[in-house]
Structure 1
Amino acid sequence: MKQINLRFFCSIVIAVCCVTNVVAQQQKYIAPALSDSNSWSIIMLPDPQTYQKFERNQPLFELMTAWISENIDKLNIQLVMCTGDLVEQNEMINPDGIAANQASKQQWASVARAFGRLDGKVPYVLAAGNHDYGYTNISVRRSNYNTYFPVDKNFKTQKLIREAGLNAEGIPTMENAAFEFASPQGRKFLLLTLEFAPRDTIIAWAKKVTGMEKYKNHTGVILTHSYLNSDNQQIVKENYPITDGNYGAAIWKKLVQPSTNIQLVFSGHIGEPDNAKGHVGFRTDKNAAGKKVNQMVFNAQAMGGGWYGNGGDGWLRILEFLPDGKTVKVKTFSPFFAISPTTQQFAWRTAPYDAFEFQMDK
């Protein structure tokens, strides 16, 4: 009888411990919030291609943009950036059901629909990646980008456009464009999107724009698809069948380093199956004016099951710009995990390469 009671007692203790542990884990979750009520933020979305190529994954990316929509006011979101590779294939009409089960038209429609949740609410600026060109990957510089993301799709973005470069077909699009905005504290920013491995003509265009007298006191920002690798090095060369492209090292040498106002560079592109560290990188150098240039790569497309997984486990980055005008806090968060109490304990990545801060020059 004593043995039975002891077993019963032990089972109760174990049950209580399990419940306590679950509650403790749930209590660890804290929803995203600004550390300073006067801060503002930019949301950085990684390459969406793996979300788009499978029908089952498409709702995950829509969940991410829906979460952004719900948090515009709470996080004082001023801008959303996406690192490119909006789709897996630009012109594929017959998916094999293994590498993808959505034709390119369906992929483009899906990513445009997801961003449509932000239309009229917050500006978003999207880089064009190598998968956004050619047939299944870049072979020629023809893209459906402008068909699904024309300049007037989101009037909030359209209001920020100041300059536009020509794509490879000679058309001014947001593949290469300059956007001007100001922080709530009045700091002026000039953000340039550059096509994947930008051509020399685009580098020259970007250099001309950032060198204009009216932008000399702006904080220059570059958003392009391929720039840094996970070893925090500027990419020198990639084996794509284009001959007129500039990768990270060349972009730095020809455009960023000679500038006096470019202080931020953002990119995506890289990845390693289910290895968060293989998707990220960061470095700081100085431009010709001696100002710090913080360069960040963030992607997640091979998290959540590799290249044919769920698209990236919903990971995104929250960049909180503090009102001191120089401190930026970087946080890595997943609305996908955060949506349920069962998985909320996994909603934050807190490794040093995922949660850190950096300083900008004023």
Structure 2
Amino acid sequence: MSRPPRPLLPLLVALGAVAALVAAPGARPAAAAISCSDLSTPVLHRVKPASGTGLLTTSTNEAARAGSAYGFTDDRGAAFRAAATARPGLVGLHRLYSARSDDFLYSADAADVRAAEEQGYVDQGVRFHVSATASACLTPVERWTRGGRHQMVTSPASTTALAAAGWRSEGVAFWARPVAVPATGSAGLVSRPIATTTGTTFSFAAVPDTQMEVISAGDTRLTNRSSWVLQQKKMSFLLQTGDLVNWDTPGHEQWAHAKRGLAPLEKAGLPYTFAVGNHDTMATGVGGSARDATRSNALLRDTETLNSYFDAADFRGVGGVFERGKVDNVFTMYTAGGLRWMVLTLEFCPRASVVAWAKKVVASHPDYNVIISTHYYLTKSGGIGTTNAGYGDTSPEYVWKNLVRPYPNVKFVFSGHTGKARKARVDTGAKGNKVYSFLTTMHDRDTNPTRVVTIDTKARTLKTSVYAPATKKTWSAYTETLKGLTFVK
């Protein structure tokens, strides 16, 4: 990009590189012991796809303005936490900008700042404070470079992607406080798993796309399913894999119908979640086609109506959310079958920042058996999807490689969106563990398909079938029993 106008410059904090802060000679260690609580300000990470140049900012307004005006549109969430003001033991990072290379540099050393200025960078002053030395509560931030531009990264997945794209590591540049899993204990969130059933056997319901069930106010199929699920023994929770509604209207009628259809679960206290499908967002217009095909990606993340009808308290058992006040990406925690379980619900072809957050959630709960629920994962032929389906940011393959495959406590993945239904797909994780994935889409105009999954943790078995309570129909082609399952304890 050309050099930003001067009024915006004080707003930009680049993801672009730190010039020789720790790795290079001249870096100075912190003079006093730091307090990790001082590094409490989230530093948001944005990237300009056209050039790969990175942006860091402590303000959501700054990020929005930089995105809309200068192309920093790849939202990767919060990269780390820093101190907004000078604190004992921390160093201030100067922000420097080069119009010639469209790059930003950070440095805490006066000599480094002068050297950068001699290369044409303009010093814009100190923007936030970090540590020049390692600490048990801090995470290293690496500097990467390519073609005169720089990026700062903390995620191993990010470094792998950069290396594949021809970027070169320049080592650790500084240390900052990692972004913690969202706080618990308030706003409908819990800090401990909620108990659901006793014994070694339990069931849960996996509900496919329900978009055809909420178009008419007189359609009772969603309510009928909720009531039927509540009548089943040992039912611990319900997950729905997206496209809860078909499209939004000014009156939000379909959302009202969906809320009413799930009300029996809320009243009875049975935990549930639903993934965000493309039809649940502003990407889909009235009639089911794209609302604005030129803006599908941006509209896919517009879930304001959804979040006005549902919150964490409705779901129950929510341990954390990716974005405050939104249920687009959440994790819920239960005990069932004598074990701990987590249902991790992800948005459609999630943003890389969401996947990075999900990795931290899974890694920080190694004693939980994780079930991932997302709208698009398996294709109609049973393969793991390789594209963003024309809407999203990443792909199911990206989710597999970066989130599912690396962690042995990820046990199941449930999805919808495409095809109809299939028996389990079995993949082998990085630790030799088995991951079982289920597709249950079934856009049914007449009844209400429901996949029931029953797990016996002692016998190490899983039994599943697809049944429609409204018409008492069973799809026997999808009935199966899996043996030899393993669980974490």
Candidates 426, 432, 444, aligned match of 1:290 = 432
Q: Which residue of 2 aligns with 1:221?
A: 371
Q: Which residue of 2 aligns with 1:205?
A: 357
Structure 2 spans left out of the alignment, 5+ residues? 1-198, 291-295
Q: Which residue of 2 aligns with 1:165?
A: 322
1:253 matched to 2:401? The reply is yes
Candidates 418, 421, 431, aligned match of 1:279 = 421
How far is the alpha carbon of 1:209 from its aligned partner?
A: 0.9
Q: Cα gap change, 1:350/1:238 in structure 2, threshold over 3 Å: closer, same or farther?
A: same
2: distance between equivalents of 1:119 and 1:55?
20
How far is the alpha carbon of 1:38 from its aligned partner?
A: 5.7
2: distance between equivalents of 1:225 and 1:54?
23
Q: Which residue of 2 aligns with 1:87?
A: 245
Query: Any residues of structure 2 matched to 1:1-362 within 5 Å, and which?
Result: 39-56=201-218, 58-71=219-232, 75-90=233-248, 92-93=249-250, 105-121=252-268, 122-134=270-282, 135-136=284-285, 137=290, 138-139=296-297, 140=299, 141-143=301-303, 144-153=305-314, 157-158=315-316, 160-166=317-323, 171-183=324-336, 185-212=337-364, 215-242=365-392, 245-271=393-419, 278-280=420-422, 282-301=424-443, 303=444, 309-310=445-446, 313-324=447-458, 326-338=460-472, 347-351=473-477, 354-359=478-483, 360-362=485-487
Q: Which residue of 1 aligns with 2:25?
A: none
Q: Which residue of 1 aligns with 2:49?
A: none
Q: Cα gap change, 1:325/1:205 in structure 2, threshold over 3 Å: closer, same or farther?
A: farther
Paired amino acid for 2:265: L
How far is the alpha carbon of 1:203 from its aligned partner?
A: 0.2
2: distance between equivalents of 1:281 and 1:238?
23
State the aligned residue count: 274
1:268-289 per-residue CA deviation (whole Å, 9 max, x = no partner) reads 1113xxxxxx333531112222
Q: Cα gap change, 1:110/1:231 in structure 2, threshold over 3 Å: closer, same or farther?
A: same
1: distance between equivalents of 2:386 and 2:423?
15
Q: Cα gap change, 1:288/1:172 in structure 2, threshold over 3 Å: closer, same or farther?
A: farther
Paired amino acid for 1:142: D
Whether the aligned pair in 2 keeps the contact of 1:219 and 1:262 (CA below 8 Å) is yes
2: distance between equivalents of 1:89 and 1:298?
20
Q: Cα gap change, 1:190/1:334 in structure 2, threshold over 3 Å: closer, same or farther?
A: same
How far is the alpha carbon of 1:130 from its aligned partner?
A: 0.8
Structure 1 spans left out of the alignment, 5+ residues? 1-36, 94-102, 272-277, 304-308, 339-346
More helix by share: 1
Q: Cα gap change, 1:325/1:173 in structure 2, threshold over 3 Å: closer, same or farther?
A: farther
1: distance between equivalents of 2:228 and 2:442?
17
Whether the aligned pair in 2 keeps the contact of 1:230 and 1:281 (CA below 8 Å) is no
Normalised TM-score (structure 1): 0.71
Q: Cα gap change, 1:246/1:238 in structure 2, threshold over 3 Å: closer, same or farther?
A: closer
Of structures 1 and 2, the one with the larger relative CO (CA 8 A, separation 6+) is 1
How far is the alpha carbon of 1:124 from its aligned partner?
A: 0.6
Paired amino acid for 2:302: R
How far is the alpha carbon of 1:64 from its aligned partner?
A: 1.1
Q: SS at the partner of 1:233?
A: coil
Whether the aligned pair in 1 keeps the contact of 2:375 and 2:416 (CA below 8 Å) is yes
2: distance between equivalents of 1:150 and 1:236?
31
Q: Percent identity?
A: 25
Q: Cα gap change, 1:239/1:292 in structure 2, threshold over 3 Å: closer, same or farther?
A: closer
2: distance between equivalents of 1:225 and 1:51?
17
Whether the aligned pair in 1 keeps the contact of 2:225 and 2:448 (CA below 8 Å) is yes
Whether the aligned pair in 1 keeps the contact of 2:217 and 2:257 (CA below 8 Å) is no
How far is the alpha carbon of 1:55 from its aligned partner?
A: 3.7
Paired amino acid for 1:82: Q
Whether the aligned pair in 1 keeps the contact of 2:349 and 2:388 (CA below 8 Å) is no
How far is the alpha carbon of 1:240 from its aligned partner?
A: 2.2
Q: SS at the partner of 1:173?
A: coil
More strand by share: 2
How far is the alpha carbon of 1:195 from its aligned partner?
A: 0.7
Whether the aligned pair in 2 keeps the contact of 1:151 and 1:174 (CA below 8 Å) is yes
How far is the alpha carbon of 1:314 from its aligned partner?
A: 1.5
Q: Cα gap change, 1:81/1:239 in structure 2, threshold over 3 Å: closer, same or farther?
A: closer
Quick check: which has more Rg, 1 or 2?
Answer: 2
Whether the aligned pair in 2 keeps the contact of 1:165 and 1:172 (CA below 8 Å) is no
2: distance between equivalents of 1:126 and 1:239?
20
